[in-house]
A and B are shown apart, each in its own frame.
Chain A
Amino acid sequence: MNAVDMRINKTLIRREFWENRSLWLVPMVFAAILTVLSVYMLVAVLVNHSGAVNNIDIDNGPHFQISDMPDLRDASDAEINGFVRVVTFSLSFMFSRLMLIVTFFYLLDSLYADRRDRSVLFWRSMPVSDTRTVLSKLATAVIGVTVVAFAVTVAFELVLLVLGLILGAALGTHPFVLLAHPGAFLSSWLLVAWGELVQALWYLPIFAWVMLASSWAKKTPFLWTVLVPVGIIVAEAWVFHTGYFARMVAHQTVDWLPLAYNFEPLAMKSSHSFAEVGGELFGIGNIGKVLAAPRLWIGAAVAAVFIYGAIELRRKRSEI
């Protein structure tokens, strides 16, 4: 790909962020709200805390005991790794759920909004092929949104780390030991990024389906997106008394998780076992497992068919 093509692709994706400010505003506002809440908690804890008080109660908030908080100087490397990993993963997971919702609504409008306001006539008067336009919107959903969400998540986690350091210092748990383990943070973020990538691949056919509906609909793409699969589920249940289609869709949204990571979900549940979630979470074998999964390739093929349909409709149905 030459420099001109790169510039066009970059501009097409930036165009999507100009139009759909929610793609970056939503994660930033969410992070800002969480930051305010965290600061509030921190202040509340610091105000309520004195040497004599061991129990901390926040009105309608969590209750915890200072004696529960471990002295990080006693923690092993594996425990610190596990602790950082659990915190990083839970926060990133929250952001990634949120972005799935934002992406869904973005894609619903992606090939419909400009037909509704007729600006499609302007966009199609430019020397950009319909294939390129559609793919740029898919790339925005898969790559653009992921990168933005990831950057916001990491920034938020760094803010939270600073707050955590202040809290820990005030409570005497020697939190600065954490800073001696930058590898724990970097490896966690890398693993999160890997998970986001795999998740995006698994969601490809779903994203592509939403785009097809968006390209097809003369009004309310939402109804097409939702009613067609619901209709299939109902028809299947009615005629065959089975639920294969529903199960297939549901599996597509979660099946990547045990392939991308060596999750032992129970290890997450048992308390005080941060060390267990340490080094075993990911190995080179996971890449092989993901690539060997039939769902990845069948999903990609289905996505390709849907995207092809969306491009053809874009070509033929430029006006509502």
Chain B
Amino acid sequence: MSMLVKAKGLTKRYGALTALDHVDFEIEEGRIVGLIGPNGAGKTTALKAILGLTDFEGELDVLGHDPRGDRHELMRQVCFIADVAVLPRWLRVSNAIEYVEAVHPGFSRERAMHFLERTKIKQRSKVGELSKGMVTQLHLALIMAIDAKLLVLDEPTLGLDILYRKEFYTSLLNDYFDAQRTILKCSARSCSCSRAPHARSWPSWASCTPPASPTSSWRR
């Protein structure tokens, strides 16, 4: 098992506030890793550092890249969904698919359509016309249709109703997750992961190996 993410002395300050203070962690390939902590614990900051969305101090290696400089290279192998619906209101569903298909070598239109068929989302709709839950569904469909090594989710199911949320995690585990993939998920609440967190301070980390029966052991 190789390490997908290696962080050493990761530090991020916003003015006087220190969001991350010399945090060390490693994330192994083929695992589902939960990043758990209360609001303000620095979860999102850590994710942003991994995704190249923020500057930081310390060392951070994600799939052999420094996220600060090679974000676009990294994004060929890393997908992420931020905490709230961030698709722009003017974007048409068909255009969103066309866009991702053109710029992302790992995107499969068939897979995206497969996910979208299970929703009420129409190709002609604009994001501004969709409900909050449907925007999340659309975003998930786009991202899960990408063949990536690391999938990062930042509270992705907040806008979803309970039925779709369950379905989402089922399909995430059955259709998406396998030994070559790693999922890093961030949540203010804990999930029923089987391993104890292996970081000493907030934010803490929970990791689980692929569960035998996904729906029963991976639950919110």
Contact = CB atoms under 8 A, between A and B. Distances in A.
Interface stretch (B90-98, B160-168, B204-212): B90-98
Contact of A122 (B92, B98, B105, B139): B139
A130 B53 CA distance: 11
B102 A127 contact: no
Contact of A127 (B76, B86, B139): B76
Contacts of B82: 118, 121-122, 125
Contacts of B112: none
B71 A119 contact: no
| Residue with the highest number of chain B CB atoms closer than 10 Å, among A10, A12, A15, A130 | A15
B99 A125 contact: no
Contacts of A113: 88
Nearest to A118: B86
B86 A11 contact: no
B132 to A, nearest CB: 14
B169 to A, nearest CB: 21
B79 interface: yes
Contact of B73 (A120, A122, A126, A127): A127
Nearest to B68: A315
A304 B91 CA distance: 30
Interface string A1-23: 00010011011100100110000
A274 to B, nearest CB: 46
Contacts of A247: none
B88 A117 contact: yes
A107 to B, nearest CB: 17
B100 interface: yes
A132 B73 CA distance: 13
A121 B75 CA distance: 12
Contacts of A18: 90-92, 95
A128 interface: yes
Contacts of B99: 11, 15, 126
Contacts of A120: 86
Interface in A278-320: 315-316, 318-319
A114 interface: yes
Nearest to B139: A122
Given A18-B95, A118-B82, A127 B88 contact: no
A113 B88 CA distance: 9
Nearest to B79: A125
A195 to B, nearest CB: 33
A126 B53 contact: no
B117 interface: no
Contact of B88 (A10, A114, A125): A114
Interface in A1-48: 4, 7-8, 10-12, 15, 18-19
B76 A122 contact: no
Interface string B48-86: 000111110000000000000001111110011110101
A122 B86 contact: yes
A120 B84 CA distance: 12
A314 to B, nearest CB: 11
Contacts of A125: 51, 75, 79-82, 143
Contacts of B51: 125
Nearest to B126: A18
A129 interface: yes
B81 to A, nearest CB: 8
B1 interface: no
Contacts of B199: none
Contacts of A318: 53-54
B103 interface: yes
Contacts of A129: 71-72
27 contacts: A4-B105, A8-B102, A8-B103, A10-B102, A11-B99, A15-B99, A114-B88, A117-B88, A118-B86, A119-B86, A124-B53, A124-B71, A125-B79, A125-B80, A125-B81, A125-B82, A125-B143, A126-B75, A126-B99, A126-B100, A126-B103, A127-B105, A128-B75, A128-B103, A129-B71, A132-B72, A318-B53
Interface of B: 51-55, 71-76, 79-82, 84, 86-92, 95, 98-100, 102-105, 139, 143
The 7 closest A-B pairs by CB, nearest first: A11-B102, A119-B88, A129-B72, A127-B75, A121-B82, A121-B86, A127-B76
Interface of A: 4, 7-8, 10-12, 15, 18-19, 113-114, 117-122, 124-130, 132, 315-316, 318-319
